[in-house]
Structure formats: C-alpha cells, structure tokens
Amino acid sequence: MNKLTVTDGTEIYFKDLGTGQPIFFHHGWPLSSDDWDAQLMFFLEKGYRVIAHDRRGHGRSTQTFKGNDMDTYAADVAELVKFLDLKNAIHVGHSTGGGEAIRYAAKHGKDRVAKVVLISAITPYMIQDERNPNGVPLEVFDNMRHNTQHNRQQFYQDLTIPFYGYNREGADVKKGIQDNWWRQGMMGGIKAQYDCIKVFSETDFTEDLTGVEQPVLVLHGDDDQIVPYATTAEKAAGLLKNGKLIIYPGLSHGMPTIDAEIINNDILKFIRE
C-alpha cells in the first residue's frame, strides 16, 4: 500500500499508475481517491501518469483530529508531489478538491504545475454573507454538520440523490454508484469530515484564483444542486488570468462519474491545447 508520512506524522494514502506527463487528482468531500476511477483508467490508457490521494482524514489516510484545514491539505499535496518528484503536472480537482488544487497551485506549485482543472468546484467562496449575498446560507452547512455528527450513515445515503441529480425526472439511478459513494464516505474519519464542512463552505480562494498564472479550465453543471455554478464557476472564471469556462446544461455535481465521457474528453482536449 502506497503511503507517505508527512511532517506532522499523518499518513497519506496515494495511487500512482503509469508513465508520461503526470495528472494529479484531488477528490471531493467526504470521498477518496476511489472517486476518480473513471478518470484514472481513461488517462492511463491515453499514456499519462495518474496520481490520486486520499486527503487526510478521508479514505485510507490517517483519521486526523488536527490539521483539517485547506492550508494543511495543500501542504500535504506539496509533500506528496515533492516525494514523487512530479513536474509539469496537471492538477484536477472536484468540489472540495478544486479548492485544494488551486490552493496548492497558488501556494506551492509555481514550478511544478502546468495546468489546473476545476470541476464542480467550491471556488471562490461558497457561504452566503455580506461579501457573497447569493451564496449558500449558513443553515445549510449547519444542517450538514448536524447530520454528519449524528446521522452520518443515513445522511451519506440520502446525499447521493441530489449529488447525482437522481431526484430529476428521467434520471438513470444506479444503486451501485450510490453505494460506492456511501462506502467511500464511511471509510473516512467523522471528525475530519465534520471539520471539512467548514473548510469547503467558508474558505476564500479569491487570492489563489487571481494569483495563478497557469491555464485553468473551469467545468460545472448548471443543475448542480450541491455547489451552485453562478456563485462559484462563473465568478472563479472571472478571477483567473488565464481561465476557460464550460457550463454543461443539465449536468449534476457528480458529473465526473455519471458523465465521465464528456468530462474526460474535455479535460483531454484542454491538456493537449
């Protein structure tokens, strides 16, 4: 099993497959590197080296009590990237992982990152306040915290429905996808996952977005019921120095899994540009 022990003693699990230009994948909350199966296989077969890790507190990494914050997440990635000596890498982040990818690129990746892809990402800022009046109300995240602490087993099953748009008319509901989401969530530590709700809802990535010089592709579905695109993707694209935005009609937050063919081919085109 591939694990790196980072500075504070936390073990970070990772997958590292293939050769060629590296693509590093950053998963969403409360999932793991397993959520990238469709991308790992696709890009591996295209001749790329694919790397994905389980964020601290998630998946097979240490179920951390401390360090569950975005700066530490990015620092963990930096240690892993250095350990693997990844250069000219593409960093692809989904949801919370999008925040992690852009924070890593801005703070640590100047000489190692070629491009960044943000998929259904939380950037630049999720929560509703005086600076972000159209953001998501605090009560929504308080409810997520309550259910994660007191009802995680059922909450993680219920959350798959809006996550994949399975509540929409005509949706092709696949129980295996729901079960796999639940499995990944339950592998992680409850304290780390609880803490991460504050991280993905309240972290401001404005400076990260404006500071990144490399090309950044922003992908989002306009039927995302978890991370609304108008307050994230559209704003993020406007802050980037070298950004490209694609909004997909009708696609859900879980589009990297259920619409993998569309997403993978658009990422591949961007990488090859």
Q: Which residues are catalytic?
A: 95, 224, 253
Picking from 162, 165, 126, 114, the residue whose alpha carbon sits closest to that of residue 267 is 114
Instruction: Give, as one character, the DSSP assignment of residue 169.
Output: T
For residue 47, give both structure tokens: 């001749």
Contact 75, 108 (CB under 8 A): yes
Length of the chain: 273
Helix (H) and strand (E) counts for the chain? 10, 8
